[in-house]
Structure 1
Amino acid sequence: MRTGRQHNPAAQVVVGLAVIAVGMLFLFDNLGWLDVDMSVQFWPVVLIIAGVLKIMGARSTNGSLIGGALLLSGAVLLLKGLGILAIGWNVLAPAAMIGVGLFVVARSIGHRRADTPSAMPLKGRGDDAVFATAILGAYKRRITSQQFAGGEITVIMGGCELDLREASLEGEAVVNLFALMGGITIQVPVDWTVQLEGAPLLGGIEESTLRPKDGSKRLVVRGYAIMGGVEIRN
Structure 2
Amino acid sequence: MKSDINKRDGKRDGKRSIPSQVILGAFVIGMGVLFLLDNLDIFDFHRAVAFWPAAFILFGVIKLLDTQSPNGALVGAILIGVGAVMTINRLGFMHINMRALWPLLIIFLGAAVICKAVTGRRMLGMQSKDDDATDAVVDITAILGGFDRRITTPAFRGGEVTAVMGGCMLDLRGSSIEGEAVLNVFALMGGITLKVPPDWTVALNGTPIMGGFDEKTITAPHNNKRLVIRGYAIMGGVEVRN
> TM-score band, normalised by the shorter chain?
0.7 to 0.9
Alpha-carbon distance in 2 for matches of 1:106, 1:57: 18
Label 1:35 to 1:207 Cα distance change in 2 as closer, same or farther (>3 A). Answer: closer
Contact 1:59 1:176 in 2 (8 A): no
Gaps of 5+ in 1: 1-6
Label 1:161 to 1:95 Cα distance change in 2 as closer, same or farther (>3 A). Answer: closer
Amino acid at match of 1:232: V
2:51 counterpart of 1:41:
yes
**3-state SS of the aligned residue for 1:41?**
coil
Deviations 1:45-103 (CA, angstroms, capped at 9, x unpaired): 33122211111221211111111111121122112112233333255333333333222
2:19 counterpart of 1:10:
yes
Contact 2:210 2:236 in 1 (8 A): yes
Alpha-carbon distance in 2 for matches of 1:167, 1:59: 22
Partner of 1:3: none
Number of equivalences: 222
Alpha-carbon distance in 1 for matches of 2:144, 2:47: 31
Greater relative contact order (Cα 8 A, min sep 6): structure 1 or 2?
1
Label 1:127 to 1:86 Cα distance change in 2 as closer, same or farther (>3 A). Answer: same
Deviations 1:125-165 (CA, angstroms, capped at 9, x unpaired): 21222211111111111112111121111101111111111
Deviations 1:160-213 (CA, angstroms, capped at 9, x unpaired): 111111211101111111100011111111111112110111100112322324
Partner of 2:71: 62
Alpha-carbon distance in 1 for matches of 2:63, 2:108: 17
Given candidates 98, 119, 132, the residue that maps to 1:89 is 98
% of aligned pairs identical?
46
Label 1:165 to 1:94 Cα distance change in 2 as closer, same or farther (>3 A). Answer: closer
Alpha-carbon distance in 2 for matches of 1:129, 1:118: 11
- Compute the TM-score of the two structures, normalised by the length of structure 1: 0.83
Label 1:200 to 1:115 Cα distance change in 2 as closer, same or farther (>3 A). Answer: same
**3-state SS of the aligned residue for 2:174?**
coil
How far the C-alpha of 1:22 sits from its partner, in A, is: 4.2
Amino acid at match of 1:126: T
Gaps of 5+ in 2: 1-13
Label 1:165 to 1:145 Cα distance change in 2 as closer, same or farther (>3 A). Answer: same
Alpha-carbon distance in 2 for matches of 1:32, 1:221: 40
Contact 2:209 2:233 in 1 (8 A): yes
Alpha-carbon distance in 2 for matches of 1:32, 1:196: 39
Deviations 1:18-53 (CA, angstroms, capped at 9, x unpaired): 23444566657x646788362x421x1331222111
**3-state SS of the aligned residue for 1:215?**
coil
**3-state SS of the aligned residue for 1:148?**
coil
**3-state SS of the aligned residue for 1:115?**
helix
Alpha-carbon distance in 2 for matches of 1:20, 1:152: 29
What value does the CA root-mean-square deviation take over the aligned residues? 2.6
Alpha-carbon distance in 1 for matches of 2:234, 2:33: 22
**3-state SS of the aligned residue for 2:224?**
coil
Label 1:95 to 1:137 Cα distance change in 2 as closer, same or farther (>3 A). Answer: closer
